Structure 1
Amino acid sequence: MIGRTEEYEKMFRLEGQLWWYRSLHERVDTALQQQFGQRRDMAILDAGCGTGGLLDFLRRRGYTNLRGLDGSADAVAFCQQRELPVTLVNLKDLAGFEPAVQYDIIVCNDVFCYFTEADLPLLVTALSDRLKPGGVLVCNNNAFDLFRGEHDVAVGIIRRFVRADFECLLPQHGLSIQSATYWSFVLSPLILLIRQWQRLQLALGWHSSDKAQSDVYLPSHWINETLYQAVRTERAILPRTPFGSSLFIVSKKL
């Protein structure tokens, strides 16, 4: 998504409001509590932090040892507006950045989708190397090619994943999957319908790929709250689901 200034601007404005970001941030917080209880002093790195919505959320939840990295100058500028400790670093160069510094937790949300099959193992190696023994890697990922649509084109997503991809990849780099679930299960028929319609519009030339728009927009208040509550209820009742547009994984360094 680097270079798409308008998408970062939308992200910055909407991260604290949009149902999807709110749901993801709460999911991360829950994962941290499941791993570390009520501690708030763990060293946390958000690798590919975007405009800092998650870091800001965690700061407001009382976490005190936060750091962010992102390869977009636009994203880092927005993080600076939030007064967050974020550094401009291309994650492809992570292996050479502060190699001696390690973290209890690394969050890497919706980043792997921008890495090719050749480059992704190098990133996972670098992330694993930055974790302390017993450290935790939390990642959210775009799931299932069925959900590919105009959003993917707009933000430059090059691949989507299924759980089997990570069952093969992560153990090769000393990471053991603790939990994994697809999510937005209850909303998946609606999301799938929208994405398939987007694909049809692109295929027929009704929309052009160079003017593609992401799904990052704020619907009316009642729709936004209804979607948020639907996903929140799903998480409470169905902690693991077999299908959804995202795949949330918690893994631990051996």
Structure 2
Amino acid sequence: MIGRSEEYEKMFRLEGQLWWYRSLHERVEMALQQRFGKRRDITILDAGCGTGGLLNFLRQRGYTGLRGLDGSTDAVAFCHERGFPVTFVNLNNLADFEPDTKYDVIVCNDVFCYFTDTDLLPLLSALSHRLKPDGLLVSNNNAFNLFMGEHDLAVGIIRRFVLADFEQIVPGRGLHVRSATYWSLALSPLILLIRQWQRLQLKLGWLKAEDAQSDVYLPPSWLNETLYQIVRVEQKLLRRTPFGSSLFMVIDSQGIL
């Protein structure tokens, strides 16, 4: 998404309100609590932190050891506006950035979709190298090619994943997928219908790729809250679901790199 200033501006304004971001941030917090309990002094790196919405969420929850990196000058500027000393780093060069610094947790949400295999494997190795022996890599990812649509074009997504993709590549990087789930199953039919309609419009020329708009917009408050509650109930009732437009993973460090 680097270079799309208008998308970063929308993200900065809406992350704290939009149902999707709220749901994702709560998933991250749950993963932290399951491993570290009530501790708030763990060191957390948000690699590809965007405009700092997750960092702000965690700060509000009392977490203190927060650090962020991003390869967009727009994103870094918005993080500074929030009061976070986020560093500009191209994640392709992560191996050369503070190589001896280790973290309890690294979060890498909706970042891998911008990397080809050639670049993704070194990035996973670099992330693994920065985890403490009992550390966690928490990662949300765009899932299933069926969900490709206007949003992908608007923010420059080049790929989507299924769990098998990561199960094949992370063991060789000193990592192990501890838990994973697709989400949101309940909203999948609606999302899929919208995305397929968008693809049809693109195919017929009714929608131009250069005019594509992202999903980062705030619906009416009643709808935003309804969508949030649907996802929240699903998360409470079902620890793992087999389908959804996103794939959320908690990955253990094996401490071998």
**Equivalent-residue separation in structure 1 for 2:174 and 2:117 (angstroms):** 18
CA-based RMSD = 0.5
What's the CA shift for 1:177?
Answer: 1.1
| Cross-structure match for 1:167 | 167
Cα deviation digits, residues 57-108 of structure 1 (max 9, x gap): 0000000000000000000000011001210000001000011111010000
After superposition, residues 156-235 of structure 1 pair within 5 angstroms as 156-235=156-235
The letter for the 2-side match of 1:227 is: L
Q: Does 1:27 align with 2:27?
A: yes
The letter for the 2-side match of 1:35 is: R
After superposition, residues 4-153 of structure 1 pair within 5 angstroms as 4-153=4-153
Q: 1:118 aligns to what SS in structure 2?
A: helix
**Equivalent-residue separation in structure 2 for 1:81 and 1:113 (angstroms):** 26
Q: 1:152 aligns to what SS in structure 2?
A: helix
The letter for the 2-side match of 1:139 is: S
Unaligned stretches of 5+ residues in structure 1: none
Q: 2:117 aligns to what SS in structure 1?
A: coil
Cα deviation digits, residues 167-210 of structure 1 (max 9, x gap): 11111111111100001110000000000011111111111111
Q: 2:170 aligns to what SS in structure 1?
A: helix
The letter for the 2-side match of 1:68 is: G
**Equivalent-residue separation in structure 1 for 2:41 and 2:178 (angstroms):** 22
CA contact (8 A) 1:66 1:85 kept: no
Q: Does 1:249 align with 2:249?
A: yes
The letter for the 1-side match of 2:207 is: H
Q: 1:179 aligns to what SS in structure 2?
A: strand
**Equivalent-residue separation in structure 2 for 1:69 and 1:102 (angstroms):** 14
TM-score of the superposed pair, with normalisation by structure 1 = 0.99
Paired residues, what number?
254
**Equivalent-residue separation in structure 1 for 2:30 and 2:96 (angstroms):** 31
Identity of matched residues, %: 74
What's the CA shift for 1:211?
Answer: 1.5
The letter for the 2-side match of 1:207 is: L
Cα deviation digits, residues 127-147 of structure 1 (max 9, x gap): 001111111000000000000
**Equivalent-residue separation in structure 1 for 2:175 and 2:124 (angstroms):** 9
| Cross-structure match for 1:2 | 2
The letter for the 1-side match of 2:57 is: F
**Equivalent-residue separation in structure 2 for 1:25 and 1:41 (angstroms):** 18
Q: 1:177 aligns to what SS in structure 2?
A: strand
Q: Does 1:155 align with 2:155?
A: yes
Q: 1:17 aligns to what SS in structure 2?
A: coil
What's the CA shift for 1:112?
Answer: 0.3
**Equivalent-residue separation in structure 1 for 2:69 and 2:202 (angstroms):** 33
**Equivalent-residue separation in structure 2 for 1:52 and 1:75 (angstroms):** 8
